[in-house]
């Protein structure tokens, strides 16, 4: 306040010298304006507006500065802008693609290929890491001391070593030490493991096989329906349908078997065959995918194991004792009391681990697995030089995945919280 009035005084003095007529007007208006501003600044409902306005103004100015710099720099370096490059021919090969792809396809296609590869490795990684993580987490709580120790050594080792190091280790030290294709490790002459990857049979779906697959789905559906029915009956009358599990097995296996027999379809397998220096045919899991998958699975499993352990431990001992004292068998105590409560604690951090895994799959670029970052933010960026567009698109993909999942998680958490009350 003092500073403001001082300012006004100084101004007044200067104007007296130059233009007395102008001064009287200026001298009166400036302090009034400042006083008004000060009044607004002290007003509880205006100060937030002023502050927010200032922040927005600063950000907008910063953005304008950055954009004009970027435009200037791009022009200077002769880099074009816009998304036209997506339809240009890419001209480079990709070692693994889930959709048809070769050098003549466009950069847009490389984006799709990379994205699908990222989704593939994330999906597989989540699947395996969940299984391994739950196993290790439960082993960590085992009453067997050796097993619990072993599990905790596993957890402490793998979560305290950088993932990138683990990926490099599996890729350069372990998988690179495998024998050449001619000396492959073979299992029953149908699964081959060597330097070039893991080779599996690939089932070929023929016309006749289609009804069989449909029947498998139908059988699964019917079994679930039967189970539900059995459960309802059990809750209604207190007695299950006699021989329920036998019925279910019969349904599950019988229907597909009968359909297969009737349709007379034969299952053909595309067998990997050694030709020249490598195997042809079948499903090939390239070592890049293998190493990435191994590292992601083990690293994330170590974290998931901790999540699982914390979840199970979060269920109070009293809950188990109360359930047992009601006469529930140990199996029922677990499935009806402990697990439902533990899952409520486990699921949010578990989802977080899944997201981490998906984001971590971007480390693929270090060993050349063609994921989104490697193919698109790597090769495509280098060839086109359009850094802004390429990196924005790459980030957008991950951001979409993350935000979608956290949105779902928030809904889930809200529902859980409501039920709790």
Partner 1 sequence: MACQSTASDSNNNYIKGANLMDELLDRSAIKDSIKKDEQAEVDIQHESGIDQSTLIEISGLNKWYGQFHVLRDINLNVSKGEKIVICGPSGSGKSTLIRCINCLEEHQEGSIVVDGTRLTNDLKNIETIRREVGMVFQQFNLFPHLTILENCTLAPIWVRKQSRKDAEKVAMEYLERVRIPDQANKYPGQLSGGQQQRVAIARSLCMNPEVMLFDEPTSALDPEMIKEVLDVMIELAQEGMTMLCVTHEMGFARTVADRVIFMDEGQIIEQAPPEAFFSNPRSDRTRKFLGQVLNH
Partner 2 sequence: MMNHELKMIPAREPPVMAVGVLAWIRNNLFASTLSIVATLLIVYGLFLSIPPLVQWALVDATWFGADSNACNREGACWAFVTARLDQFIYGFYPAEHQWRPNLFFAQLAVLVLWLSLKWTPGKQWVLGYSLLLMPFVSWFLLYGDLPGLEKVETHQWGGLMLTLLLALCGMIASLPFGVLLALGRRSNMPVIRSLCTAYIELWRGVPLITVLFMASVMLPLFVPEEVVFDKLLRALIGIILFQSAYMAEVVRGGLQAIPKGQFEAFNSLGLSYWQGMIMIILPQAMRLVIPGVVNTFIALFKDTSLVLVIGLFDLLAIIQAGLNDPAWLGNSVEGYLFAGFVFWIFCYGMSKYSQRLEQQLHQGR
Closer to partner 2 at the Cβ: 202 or 320? 320
| Rounded CA separation 2/91 (Å) | 70
Among 43, 75, 206, 321, binds partner 1 (CB under 8 A): 43
Note whether 36 and 10 are within 8 A (CB).
no
Closer to partner 1 at the Cβ: 54 or 183? 54
Whole-number Cα distances in Å, 332 to 80, 119, 284, 326:
66, 37, 43, 11
296 binds partner 2 (CB under 8 A): no
Q: Which residue has the tokens 């890491």?
A: 129
The DSSP 8-state label assigned to residue 364 in this structure reads G
| Closest to 264 (Cα-Cα) out of 217, 218, 220, 210 | 210
48 binds partner 2 (CB under 8 A): yes
Residues in 125-154 at the binding interface with partner 2, rule: CB under 8 A: 142-147, 150
Residue 409 CB, nearest approach to partner 1 (Å): 22
Of 103-111, 157-165, 288-296, 334-342, the window that binds partner 2 (rule: CB under 8 A) is 157-165
Q: Which does 46 bind (CB under 5 to 8 A by kind): partner 2, partner 1, none?
A: partner 1
| Rounded CA separation 325/401 (Å) | 45
Gyration radius from the chain CA atoms = 33
Closer to partner 2 at the Cβ: 21 or 76? 76
Q: Which does 363 bind (CB under 5 to 8 A by kind): partner 2, partner 1, none?
A: partner 2
Taken in order 102, 105, 111, 113, is the CA torsion positive or negative? negative
| Rounded CA separation 369/361 (Å) | 10
**Rounded to 10 degrees, what is the CA torsion of 63, 65, 66, 68?**
120
Residues in 176-205 at the binding interface with partner 2, rule: CB under 8 A: 176
Whole-number Cα distances in Å, 60 to 54, 282, 382:
10, 56, 30
Q: How many Å from the N-terminal Cα to the C-terminal Cα in the chain?
A: 52
Q: Which residue has the tokens 């021919």?
A: 89
Taken in order 383, 388, 389, 390, is the CA torsion positive or negative? positive
Q: Per the structure block, which two tokens stand in for 65? A: 């500065």
42 binds partner 1 (CB under 8 A): yes
Q: Which does 285 bind (CB under 5 to 8 A by kind): partner 2, partner 1, none?
A: none
Q: Which does 157 bind (CB under 5 to 8 A by kind): partner 1, partner 2, none?
A: partner 2
Among 47, 231, 329, 332, binds partner 1 (CB under 8 A): 47
Q: Which residue has the tokens 């979060």?
A: 314
Residue 48 CB, nearest approach to partner 1 (Å): 9
Among 45, 104, 160, 325, binds partner 1 (CB under 8 A): 45
Residue 418 CB, nearest approach to partner 1 (Å): 12
| Rounded CA separation 41/56 (Å) | 17
Of 40-48, 116-124, 223-231, 299-307, the window that binds partner 1 (rule: CB under 8 A) is 40-48
Q: What are phi and psi of 202, to 5 degrees?
A: -120, 115
Residue 387 CB, nearest approach to partner 2 (Å): 4
* Residues pairing with 193 in the sheet: 185, 198
Residue 18 CB, nearest approach to partner 2 (Å): 38
Instruction: State the binding string over 371-410 for partner 2 (x if CB under 8 A, else -).
Output: --x---x---x-----xx--x--xx--xx-xxx--x----
Burial class of 180 by CB neighbour count within 10 A (0 to 12, 13 to 18, 19+): exposed
Closer to partner 2 at the Cβ: 168 or 222? 168
415 binds partner 1 (CB under 8 A): no
Among 27, 74, 222, 328, binds partner 2 (CB under 8 A): 74
Q: Per the structure block, which two tokens stand in for 389? A: 């567009």
Q: Which residue has the tokens 């681990």?
A: 353
Closer to partner 1 at the Cβ: 21 or 421? 421
Positions that interact with partner 1 (CB under 8 A): 39, 42-47
Positions that interact with partner 2 (CB under 8 A): 48, 51-52, 55-56, 59, 66, 69-70, 72-74, 76, 142-147, 150, 156-157, 160-166, 168-169, 172-173, 176, 359-360, 362-363, 365-366, 373, 377, 381, 387-388, 391, 394-395, 398-399, 401-403, 406
């Amino acid at each position: 306040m003092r500073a403001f009035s001082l300012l006004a005084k100084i101004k007044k003095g200067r104007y007296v010298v130059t233009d007395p007529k102008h001064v009287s007007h200026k001298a009166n208006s400036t302090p009034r304006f400042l006083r008004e501003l000060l009044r607004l600044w002290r007003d509880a409902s205006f100060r937030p507006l002023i502050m927010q306005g200032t922040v927005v103004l600063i950000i907008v100015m910063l953005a304008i500065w950055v954009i004009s710099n970027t435009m200037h720099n791009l022009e200077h370096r002769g880099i074009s802008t816009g998304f036209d490059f997506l339809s240009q021919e890419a001209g480079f090969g990709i070692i693994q693609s889930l959709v048809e792809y070769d050098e003549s396809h466009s950069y847009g296609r490389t984006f799709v290929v990379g994205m699908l590869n990222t989704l593939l490795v994330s999906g597989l990684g989540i699947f395996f890491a969940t299984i391994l993580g739950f196993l290790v987490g439960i082993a960590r709580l085992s009453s067997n001391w050796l097993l619990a120790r072993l599990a905790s050594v596993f957890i402490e080792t793998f979560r305290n070593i950088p993932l990138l190091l683990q990926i490099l280790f599996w890729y350069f030290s372990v998988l690179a030490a495998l024998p050449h294709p001619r000396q492959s490790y073979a299992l029953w002459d149908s699964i081959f493991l060597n330097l070039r990857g893991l080779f599996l049979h690939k089932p070929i779906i023929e016309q006749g096989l289609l009804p069989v697959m449909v029947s498998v789905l139908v059988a699964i559906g019917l079994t679930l329906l039967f189970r539900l029915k059995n459960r309802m009956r059990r809750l209604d009358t207190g007695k299950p349908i006699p021989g329920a599990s036998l019925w279910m097995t019969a349904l599950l296996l019988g229907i597909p078997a009968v359909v297969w027999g009737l349709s007379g379809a034969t299952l053909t397998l595309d067998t990997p065959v050694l030709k020249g220096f490598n195997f042809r045919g079948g499903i090939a899991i390239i070592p890049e995918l293998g190493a990435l998958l191994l590292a992601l699975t083990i690293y994330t499993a170590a974290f998931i194991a901790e999540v699982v352990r914390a979840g199970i431990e979060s269920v109070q001992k009293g809950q188990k004792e109360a359930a047992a004292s009601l006469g529930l068998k140990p199996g029922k105590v677990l499935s009806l009391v402990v697990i439902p409560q533990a899952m409520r604690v486990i699921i949010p951090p578990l989802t977080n681990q899944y997201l981490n895994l998906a984001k971590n799959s971007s480390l693929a670029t270090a060993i050349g697995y063609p994921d989104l970052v490697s193919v698109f933010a790597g090769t495509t960026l280098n060839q086109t030089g359009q850094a802004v567009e390429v990196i924005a698109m790459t980030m957008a993909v991950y951001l979409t995945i993350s935000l979608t999942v956290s949105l779902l998680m928030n809904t889930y958490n809200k529902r859980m919280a409501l039920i709790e009350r």
